[in-house]
Amino acid sequence: MQVQVSDFGLMPSNEQAQLFTLSNDNGLVVKITNYGGVITAVEMSDKDGNVDNVVLGFDKLEDYISDEYLNSYPYFGAICGRFANRIREGKFTLDGEDFQLAVNNGPNHLHGGLVGYDRVLWKAEVIREDEEVGVELSHLSKDGDEAYPGNVLLKVRYSLNEKNELKIRYNAETDKATPINLTNHSYFNLTGCKEIVTGHYLCIESDEITPVDNNMIPIGVYSGVAGTPFDFRTNRTIGEQMDELETGYDLNYVLRGEKGEMRKVACLSEQNSGREIEVYTTQPGMQLYTGYWIPELNGKFGSYSGVALETQHYPDSPNKPEFPETVLRPGETYLQTTVYKFGVKLSEGL
């Protein structure tokens, strides 16, 4: 296993962003930049030995900071926070104090605000160990950052092993109570972006969703998936019932299993390539987003060009006491882990 470090481009501040290329002896390659903690590429073989990048991303920093990209921002591969997903009207009350965050997604706050962790140049330290290689990113999110309370020290560790597992470990501590919800926003396309993702097969270990109102905010109840287009309890294609949904899938699934327990929660596969991804996490929820709003950039991508499997806490949790707690307090440690395991099935059928 190896880690290679190279320059990725200059920030507007003239700081140098870096690219960390992780590779194992099976030929799996994962590329991560310390700008936004973005996974720019996951290069893997199909059943015939052809290698493709199976995540949506770019080869250079200037594409991630261009006006074209930022004006229709799809968060390709980035770390999202301080609170990933939506907060209703950007408002919440914590310990009797009211907070107003930026509103950057219709009437709501999304993925940490105007300058979330996705646009931060993180400090980086290379990890080389016997059983894994990787990079640990760190960042101090200061009190008042995007109007959130508390100085939060963050560490996100990406690592790759010989089992073809990309592990993402999130760690955070704070000096004031604050809501926190971190995720990675990679979009997967197992055809290597040769086709849209509606033909991918998907299975999710979930019996319920958190239904939303017209502004994409959970209404605070749980709803069973049985008999609805949201039922992925058995393996089926993403597109099988998607014509019943105007803009495809973009909602939170309540994952089976105990809080904090690492367990398998989803499997994404594509028959022609034989590629598959198994998803494991300690998180309670997963946002399934099939990318209706992905823009065409550099003559590629567009609607349904990738599917995001964002393991996280539920949207608008700071305003929903019935949802799992997302407030981190001094003396506590935020710890969550997600694993994406990449594989290829050589036989026909998945």
Where exactly are the structural domains of the chain?
2-344
Q: Which amino acid is at 303?
A: S
pLDDT at residue number 349:
43
Query: Is the entire prediction scored with pTM above 0.95?
Result: yes
Closest by CA to 114, choosing from 73, 154, 152, 142, is 73
The yes-or-no answer on residue 310 being catalytic is yes
What's the whole-number mean pLDDT along residues 61-89? 96
Q: What is the pLDDT of residues 106-119, one digit of tens each?
A: 999 999 999 999 99
The yes-or-no answer on residue 200 being catalytic is no
Task: Check 185, 270, 276, 313 and give the catalytic one.
Answer: 185
What's the whole-number mean pLDDT along residues 189-202? 98
Task: Check 165, 276, 310, 313 and give the catalytic one.
Answer: 310
Residue count of the chain = 350
CATH of 2-344, one of 2.70.98.10, 2.60.450.10, 2.40.50.100, 3.10.180.10: 2.70.98.10
Cis status, amide bond into 236, omega within 30 of 0: no
Q: Which two tokens stand for residue 67?
A: 């006006």
Q: What is the pLDDT of residues 134-188, one digit of tens each?
A: 999 999 999 999 999 999 999 999 999 999 999 999 999 999 999 999 999 999 9
Encode 313-342 in three state secondary structure.
CCCCHHHCCCCCCCEECCCCCEEEEEEEEE
